[in-house]
Homo-oligomer: A and B are copies of this chain.
């Protein structure tokens, strides 16, 4: 397979700091499929660079002649295009259930994580992205970033309640997908990887049983996630 493959990934001011949870899903999915891809650092305001995709967000995957965007659509594309590579879903019912994981993560888990880490993000962004980030996120949350930062302790407690179904599932089995991870694990862990890279705050208490699954995901795919550069941030009080 010599098809050229490029993944546009959100980057911080330091272009090696790649913190988008949606981009991480596709990094994991490519590794799971045993596919390599070059990556292109991209900032929120680099709309022109991905104009060919017909929209303004990453991840965008260029796979030979194909340009695919939206993490779920990319995962489905990879599964359909590379059926002889390890499956991202295991079966059609597994793919359908992964969609619920996808929706729960986007609608429940990510907002809960965002409330904890979002105040840390402007500091790691390229200067040209900061106004865009602040304006769009403050509109989405109906709150200033500073006000969200001030409520961090409450948000962390709320997050730790929200993840209870993950905790009880992942103490009964090694991965969401069972004995080995699949795209369901990629979806959910990418939210934890986002926080790990972009914020000094630990989402989990030291004794949280979910920590063992995070360690397994950091080890998976030859330590792909563990090797990723993290933002240099002071530990907040």
A binding-site residues for B, Cβ under 8 Å: 89-104, 107-108, 164-166, 168-169, 172-173, 175-179, 182, 184
* Contact (Cβ within 8 A) B97 A101: yes
* Contact (Cβ within 8 A) A177 B90: no
The smallest C-beta distance from A198 to any residue of chain B, in angstroms, reads 24
Q: Which residues of B lie under 8 Å from residue A108 when comparing CB positions?
A: 164-165
Contact of A99 with B169 at beta-carbon distance under 8 Å, contacts A90-B93, A93-B90, A94-B91 already known? yes
Copies of this chain present in the complex amount to 2
Q: Which residues of B lie under 8 Å from residue A101 when comparing CB positions?
A: 97, 100
A-B contact pairs, 21 of them (CB 8 A): A89-B93, A90-B91, A90-B93, A91-B93, A92-B178, A93-B177, A93-B182, A93-B184, A94-B94, A96-B175, A97-B176, A97-B184, A99-B169, A100-B166, A100-B176, A100-B184, A103-B168, A103-B169, A107-B165, A107-B168, A108-B165
Report the bound CA distance from A99 to B108 in whole Å.
Answer: 18
Q: Which 6 A-B pairs have the closest CB atoms?
A: A90-B93, A96-B178, A91-B91, A94-B94, A104-B165, A103-B165
Q: Which residues of B lie under 8 Å from residue A173 when comparing CB positions?
A: 96, 99
Report the bound CA distance from A179 to B93 in whole Å.
Answer: 8
Q: Which residues of B lie under 8 Å from residue A96 when comparing CB positions?
A: 173, 175-179
Q: Which residues of B lie under 8 Å from residue A178 when comparing CB positions?
A: 92-93, 95-96
Report the bound CA distance from A124 to B99 in whole Å.
Answer: 37
The smallest C-beta distance from A102 to any residue of chain B, in angstroms, reads 8
Closest B residue, CB atoms, query A167:
B103
Report the bound CA distance from A97 to B187 in whole Å.
Answer: 13
Report the bound CA distance from A182 to B108 in whole Å.
Answer: 24
Other than the given A90-B94, A103-B165, A103-B169, 4 more pairs (CB < 8 A) read A95-B178, A96-B176, A97-B97, A99-B169
The smallest C-beta distance from A192 to any residue of chain B, in angstroms, reads 15
